[in-house]
């Protein structure tokens, strides 16, 4: 099967092999960290977490693997605007852990929230419906992030 045309369902081993990729030690370690560590990890975060147990996995491999995982739709690459990308396991909009982000532009604190208010749910539903129809898109996912000042940072200065 040619690369890049594998967007189907499945999990780790099968998902990799079926797409022509090999599930190597390093890649497995990276997936392991992503699945266990909470929150949003940078490439370097992952590298540092892996290093004690796998000192021969380089930062380059972390970047490359995250790229592959991202293209397979297994991880989401997030951008909180602080100049370094964060990664988290993707579970899709209907997955149990789907959440949106609230990011403080001052201290970079990130809040994951899952308890969407009615307006937000309706906003998503209506927008997806309208956009899908207008642009002939089959919408499968979304990223929603609000930026602003957190509790503490509002009262600074």
Judged by beta carbon distances under 5 to 8 A according to partner kind, the member of Zn ion, its own copies, DNA, none in contact with residue 91 is none
Whether 43 and 62 have beta carbons less than 8 Å apart is answered as yes
Q: Which of 31, 41, 43, 72 binds DNA (CB under 7 A)?
A: 43
Piece of 36-44, 95-103, 119-127, 143-151 that binds DNA (CB under 7 A):
36-44
Q: Which of 94, 150, 154, 157 binds Zn ion (CB under 5 A)?
A: 150
Q: Which of residues 65-94 bind DNA (CB under 7 A)?
A: 65, 67, 83-85
Whether 44 and 86 have beta carbons less than 8 Å apart is answered as no
Judged by beta carbon distances under 5 to 8 A according to partner kind, the member of its own copies, Zn ion, DNA, none in contact with residue 61 is DNA
Supply the minimum distance, in Å, between the C-beta of residue 157 and DNA.
15
CA dihedral 39, 42, 44, 50 (to 10 degrees): 40
Enter the tokens of residue 95.
Answer: 């997955």
Q: Is 112 in the site for Zn ion (CB under 5 A)?
A: yes
CB burial of 84-94 (b: ≥16 within 10 Å; e: otherwise) equals: ebbbbebeeee
Residue 111 φ/ψ, nearest 5 degrees: -105, 125
β-sheet bridge partners, residue 78: 86
Q: Which is nearer to DNA, 85 or 89 (CB)?
A: 85
Residue numbers at the binding site for DNA (CB under 7 A): 3, 20-22, 24, 26-27, 42-44, 56-61, 63-65, 67, 83-85
């Amino acid at each position: 099967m040619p690369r890049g045309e594998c967007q189907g369902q499945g999990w780790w081993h099968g998902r990799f092999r079926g797409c022509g990729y090999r599930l190597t030690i390093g890649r497995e370690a990276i997936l392991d960290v992503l699945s266990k560590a909470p929150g949003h990890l940078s490439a370097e975060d992952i590298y540092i977490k892996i290093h004690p147990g796998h000192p021969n996995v380089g930062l380059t491999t972390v970047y490359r693997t995250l790229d592959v995982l991202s293209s397979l739709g297994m991880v989401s690459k997030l951008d909180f605007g602080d100049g370094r990308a964060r990664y988290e396991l993707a579970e899709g909009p209907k997955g149990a852990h789907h959440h949106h982000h609230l990011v403080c532009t001052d201290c970079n604190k990130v809040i994951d929230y899952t308890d969407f208010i009615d307006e937000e749910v309706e906003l998503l539903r209506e927008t997806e419906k309208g956009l899908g129809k207008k642009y002939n898109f089959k919408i499968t996912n979304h990223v929603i992030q609000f930026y602003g000042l957190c509790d503490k940072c509002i009262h600074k200065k």
